[in-house]
Amino acid sequence: MKLGFLTACLPESTLSDIARWAVDQGFEALEVAGWPATDVRNHIRVERFDEIEYERVRRIFADTGLALSSIAYYENNLHPTEGPQVNAHVRRCVEAAAALGCPTVGTFVGRDAGMTVHDNLKKAEDVFGPLVEHAKGHGVEIVIENCVMKSWHPDGYPGNLAYSPELWEWMFGIGLKLNYDPSHLVALGIDPVAAARPYVSEIAHVQAKDTEILGGRIDHTGFHGPIGGEKGWYRFRVPGRGQVDWTRVIDALQEGGYDGVVSVEHEDPVWSGDPARVRTGLGIAYHTLRPLIAG
């Protein structure tokens, strides 16, 4: 295994600066944010991935020795109006990944909130069939994070149809792989280790984020949280500051044969607000995970 992080948490920094800092801290990989240029999370500009951009990114990874584990673009591929633009950008991410020798592109399945789950799954098969074939033709795998994305549904129901092992099985059937993030399983009352064990062979990337349960709040709002779909009774933290048992998680992945990248996804509100605090949070995650995956 290699230890890395997702660059989206440092949008004000250049990829070159992030990479140099990552090496100094002992990280071995980066998952690079690849949103469009209109979004601050665009450390790789896939919409104009010409020879100059290719050489810029290639040089950063060649000079630092870091691995490029994935190009990240987590948006709603089933959105009723914006879906086609999202799909097209996923294709561009795949092409950039192939050119750079990057094995995966990460995104969400998403959901059309005006349709039933059953109809969404049928729509997703039509949408992702060509995307999977495009990725396969370029030697790249599309990985889906198991995030719930309550904010994408007007009533706070799951907005990304990849949140449970039941849906993972459906995803694998259409050629998608899993970007496994245990934090979201904690927030659903699912044991992350029990959920992962049968599917390690289908995990092509791992994101490391923790979940802190905020005591007593669920007794007021219930499992689904406050009206409007806010998280309410839990919050995401850097690894080591929540409920995830990282020793058991990493052990299950290693026992199952996973030898890829564990990429810290920093969404911790305590260690946010300015780049220095974000880097401190990444350091906490590093010192939590490094002893578990070293060597």
The pTM of this model reads 0.95
Instruction: Find the domain containing 249 and state its range.
Output: 2-293
SS3 sequence of 176-227: CEEEECHHHHHCCCCCHHHHHHHHHHHEEEEEECEEEECCCCHHHHCCCCCC
Q: Rounded CA gap, 93 and 89, in Å? A: 6
Instruction: Give me the CATH number covering residue 239.
Output: 3.20.20.150
CB atoms near residue 78 (< 10 Å):
26
pLDDT tens for residues 192-232?
999 999 999 999 999 999 999 988 777 877 777 776 555 58
Each residue's pLDDT tens digit, 100-147:
999 999 999 999 999 999 999 999 999 999 999 999 999 999 999 999
Contact predicate 110/152, CB 8 Å: yes
Structure confidence at residue 56 as a pLDDT band (50, 70, 90): very high
pLDDT above 90: percentage of residues in the chain: 87
Query: For 17-37, how does the pLDDT look when each residue is reduced to its tens digit (9 = 90+)?
Result: 999 999 999 999 999 999 999
pLDDT, tens digit (0-9, with 9 covering 90-100), for 218-269: 787 777 777 655 558 889 999 999 999 999 999 999 999 999 999 999 999 9
Total of domains in the chain: 1
- Top pLDDT among 133 and 159 is at 133
DSSP 146: -
Q: What is the mean pLDDT of residues 163-171?
A: 96
- Rounded mean pLDDT of 32-47? 95
